[in-house]
Structure 1
Amino acid sequence: MTTLSDVQPTPGGADESAEDRRKRLRTVVAASLLGTTIEWYDFFLYATAASLVFNKIFFPDTSSTVGTMLAFATFAVGFVVRPVGGVVFGHVGDRIGRKKTLALTMVLMGVATALMGVLPTTAQIGVLAPILLLLLRVLQGFALGGEWAGAVLLAVEHSPPGKRGRFGSIPQIGLALGLALGTGVFALLQVVFDEEQFLSYGWRIAFLLSLVLVVVGIVVRLAVEETPAFREVEHLQQRSTAPFKQVFTGRRNIRNSILGLLSRWGEGAAFNTWGVFAITYATGTLAMNKVSVLLAVTVASLVMAVLLPVSGLLVERHGAQRVYLAGIAAYGVLVFPVFALFHTGNLALFGLGLILVFGIVHALFYGAQGTLYASLYPTEIRYTGLSVVYQFSGIYASGLTPLILTSLIAATNGAPWLACGFLVATSVISVVATVLIRPRDLHL
């Protein structure tokens, strides 16, 4: 079977000039970074809206807590359907290539997000409104199911020798920028409009902006070349006919899949705690100013974006497994101290805690994740394998986390400590699973 290292020394071909190589790599970086930024902007725009808008206009006849939980339940649905998209687009990506698949996922995501921006509210069309919202969220999740793995492979499989860690961190930067863009736009809109205007039509601007971003993203992605690793598989006629089945065939693939799924639990829980749930917790339970909280999340996301390439450099020096392990362990250690800072109700301490655990610590392990998971599978099933690990774990690791934390804090009358125990448990599970990944079973 072909591994990435088999084709890595000459990613653009033996006759590629230095200038052509630089041009190709610039296009790869732009396509991977811009594409994931737009996709994550679209996806997490919903998360921010679920915290601030959807619980009021799509679930208005419920208590504040129940309305928020219903909004987060529709948020979770996007994660439930992502594995379906991961399997479908993973199969397509392993059969026809990374480039075409990524263009298709972006179109679907952009359409779903823009339609949310023109969706009538419950007051206008009744129960049909939350049903349509749910269906569009399903389409979002389906599209994103094939996005992350393809973006990682676009970068990693094009990376020059010795720079795999840095290139593997590029798609992760897109996630941080997408979240920062989403929360930043929402903060700006709440400054420009009063609350009535914002809930009436202001929030829709953020969703309609997606159309402009998607057009730019598609143009850039269509300009990139197919990855050399996939072209090599095509040349050798080694494309898998059933990549999903192969992911769970053979002791090494089965072991890597199980450990990958468990190792991601902490990362998924961490991101959706600091990037999603923290907004609701701060503005609801702690009654902090909405704009200030959104700006704090935006700043922490930008810090993460700056530090992710540093994580990539550490991967090249120490290995993806060690860097990921160090970061995910640090997350577990800091959960209780950071929530103690949050619980003071002081905005400055809230921002400090968020920058520490989200901007710095999350950057450490998230920057290593793409390279680590890409090494779990051979080239011919790598798109499907990455999608399986990232998207199936997303159901319990990501999608359910805000709902679980909201329930645990409501059950303890606003105290976060039971929720903290849950988050620490996700870190412990991920640490153990990461330690059990054997270097001899990796394909890079």
Structure 2
Amino acid sequence: MSTQHSDPARTVQMRRAVTGSLIGSSLEWYDYFLYGAASALVFNKVFFPSFDPLTGTLLAFLTFSVGFIVRPIGAAVAGHYGDRIGRKKVMLVTIVAMGVSTVLIGLLPTYATVGVAAPLMLVAIRIVQGLALGGEWGGGALMIAERAPAERRGFLTSFVQVGASIGNLLSTGALLLLSALLTQESFLTWGWRIPFLFSAVVVLIGLYVRLKMSETPAFHSLQEQGQASTNPVRDVLRQQSLDLLRVIGIRAGADIMYYVLITFLLTYIADELGLPRTVGLLAAMIGATMQLFTYPAFAALSDRFGRRRLTIIGALGAIAWMPFLFPLVDTGSTLVIIVAVLGGLVWHSAMYGVQAAWICELFDAQHRYSGASLGYQLAGIVGGSLAPTIAIGLLQLFDSTVPVTIYVCLALAVVAITALCTRETRGIDLNPSVEPAPDQLNESHAP
């Protein structure tokens, strides 16, 4: 094929990869964040009504954590097949699993109807959600990273991260709209179910987009040369275990900060400050809108100045901001609360916006899906899964937000230190020629 024809073809595939990953990521995260917001606002009353509000919320957040705990299992399974049979096929499975499980949450009976069976069913469905999301992020990031020009890879892969912000915006917006339109009784009785049931439509859109996506050049090269790994999870654990630990160190602190800002604050604002639940939802919604732009902006800067430098700047900026967060929130002013959340999310964007490119660039092609997915999701257990629960526990134990601030700042310090100890990968080739197997080398040099 001539260059004249191949360049437009590559451009079309690049656009499809970005669009498909962006839409798919948005839909997956919509489902996932919807659960987190509902945990703070609804599930403590609908599935754990026999406890006091803060304890009920704590139990709801524990079910939220279950999804994080099983995400590495989903990452291992998706990584295994994504490195063996291709990125695209696995991504189709993840979006169907996530969508169906979310619809089922919207159909669940409450504790008042079936008793303890209700929260048990909720946990079971949450496990399916976690397995699906465990394989989603790595596939979406690779579909872009493995075909993006090296000089724009940070910017283009950041749209996977933008998908998380869109998902958060849609889920928060849906709950905010319904809670504003409905009475408290109607919202708790049936209104909260509508955003979950809407996932049925979302799945169909996601499937349509992803069916049009093609496989990545890197995986095609592995297949053509017969170099696709037969056990990629084992290989990445043997060959790049330190890089897995680096990803966890870079990711976990950013996750902790994010879920304290977005999930814990919803409970704190409503239950501790006694403000309307719409205040926290509005702050989260405006923050998600801002990050539609800050993620790509910081990622583009990383294409020029490096992934490591932007991550360290983000972590140090976040540490400087955290001592101001709760004093600003405690003013009770809606405008000041929004400013407090936005200030934290700016620095979070500097860390999170560059992660898709950096994490993909750290791993070899033969086990890149496994490495990127496992590293990202293992960090979720250490970081986001327990952050709201730990924050509530610290608040209950000390009756103060100061320990929560210290907890987040220590986690951010780990991000800065780990980033400093991780190699810079900006501009590397993600599609190098695959080396022939040792037996092929011996045969080619045989007399």
Match of 2:439 in 1: none
Judged with a 3 Å threshold, the aligned counterparts in structure 2 of structure 1 residues 147 and 289 are, in CA distance, closer, same or farther, namely: same
How far off is 1:389 after superposition?
0.7
Unaligned stretches of 5+ residues in structure 1: 1-11
Contact 1:304 1:362 in 2 (8 A): no
Match of 1:366 in 2: 352
Match of 1:298 in 2: 285
Letter in 2 for 1:30: T
Contact 2:358 2:425 in 1 (8 A): no
How far off is 1:164 after superposition?
0.5
Contact 2:361 2:425 in 1 (8 A): no
1:375 aligns with 2:364: no
One of 417, 420, 440 as aligned partner of 1:432: 417
Match of 2:245 in 1: 258
Runs of 4+ in structure 1 off by over 6 angstroms are: 440-443
One of 380, 395, 405 as aligned partner of 1:409: 395
Match of 1:40 in 2: 29
TM-score under structure 1 length normalisation = 0.94
Match of 2:312 in 1: 325
Structure 1 or 2, whichever has the larger Rg, is: 2
How far off is 1:342 after superposition?
1.2
1:423 aligns with 2:399: no
Match of 1:53 in 2: 42
After TM superposition, the structure 1 = structure 2 runs for residues 94-109 of structure 1, keeping only pairs within 5 Å, are 94-109=83-98
Match of 1:280 in 2: 267
Q: Determine helix, strand or coil for the equivalent of 1:162.
A: helix
Greater mean deviation of Cα atoms: 433-442 or 343-352: 433-442
- 1:304-355 per-position Cα deviation (integer Å, ceiling 9, x unaligned): 1122111121011011121122112211221111222112222211100111
Q: Determine helix, strand or coil for the equivalent of 2:151.
A: coil
1:340 aligns with 2:327: yes
Contact 2:306 2:424 in 1 (8 A): no
Judged with a 3 Å threshold, the aligned counterparts in structure 2 of structure 1 residues 78 and 430 are, in CA distance, closer, same or farther, namely: same
How far off is 1:23 after superposition?
2.3
- 1:83-111 per-position Cα deviation (integer Å, ceiling 9, x unaligned): 10000001111111111111100000000
Q: Distance in 2 between matches of 1:439 and 1:334?
A: 26
1:308 aligns with 2:295: yes
- 1:247-304 per-position Cα deviation (integer Å, ceiling 9, x unaligned): 1213xx1221112212212111012111211111111111222113211110111101
Q: Determine helix, strand or coil for the equivalent of 2:39.
A: helix
Contact 1:327 1:361 in 2 (8 A): yes
Query: Percent of aligned pairs with the same residue?
Result: 36
Letter in 2 for 1:68: T
Match of 2:225 in 1: 236
- 1:395-426 per-position Cα deviation (integer Å, ceiling 9, x unaligned): 1211000000000011122x200111010010
Contact 1:377 1:443 in 2 (8 A): no
1:70 aligns with 2:59: yes
Q: Distance in 2 between matches of 1:330 and 1:354?
A: 14
Match of 1:7 in 2: none
Greater mean deviation of Cα atoms: 273-282 or 433-442: 433-442
CA RMSD after TM alignment: 1.6
How far off is 1:160 after superposition?
2.6
After TM superposition, the structure 1 = structure 2 runs for residues 192-207 of structure 1, keeping only pairs within 5 Å, are 192-207=181-196
One of 128, 143, 150 as aligned partner of 1:139: 128
